[in-house]
Amino acid sequence: MRFLLRTVISAVALWVATALISGIEVTAGNGTKRALTLLGVAVIFGVVNAFIKPVIQVLGCAFYVLTLGLFALVVNALLLLLTSWLAEKMHLPFHVDGFWPAFWGAIIIGVVSWLLNLFVAKHE
């Protein structure tokens, strides 16, 4: 149940990023296809964050320390670009145009996910 809730929260955060950032887009036709695409991308994003992000954090530990954690913003942007690439390989109509849309999108996704998780944690 928790996995499903986290996936929906990620999908909502991705939707907010597509609404606010011009370089992040879902090109699916109607509302149902868009929602299913966002859910699929949220699953991919969750898998990427679960398996690849910890490896990068361990290998790049010095960069995190040297930049006082700001390197995490770059890593999150690159992970969002990787998610976009994987989604395109899986024929999901989700695309991130480049680093800067990914950078701002990752910030928005992080903030929206954090806020939604706070709201959900209060009601559990």
- Residue 34 is predicted with a pLDDT of 92
Query: What are the tokens at 71?
Result: 């390197």
Cross-strand bridge partners of residue 95: 25
Determine which helix (DSSP H) or strand (DSSP E) holds 101, and give its type and residue range. Answer: helix 99-122
Query: What are the tokens at 12?
Result: 């909502």
* Cα–Cα distance for residue pair 62/72, rounded to 1 Å: 12
Mean pLDDT of all residues in 10-35:
93
Query: What are the tokens at 40?
Result: 């699929």
DSSP secondary structure code for residue 27 in this structure: -
* Cα–Cα distance for residue pair 62/59, rounded to 1 Å: 8
- Among residues 37, 55, 51, 108, which one has the least CA distance to residue 77? 108
pLDDT tens sequence across 60-73: 889 889 998 899 99
Question: Mapping DSSP to helix (H, G, I), strand (E, B) and coil, where does residue 24 land?
Answer: strand
Query: What are the tokens at 54?
Result: 């910890």
pLDDT tens sequence across 70-124: 999 999 999 999 999 999 999 999 999 999 999 999 999 999 999 999 988 766 6
Mean per-residue pLDDT over the chain, rounded: 92
Decide if 79 contacts 48 (C-beta within 8 A).
yes
Query: What are the tokens at 66?
Result: 């040297």
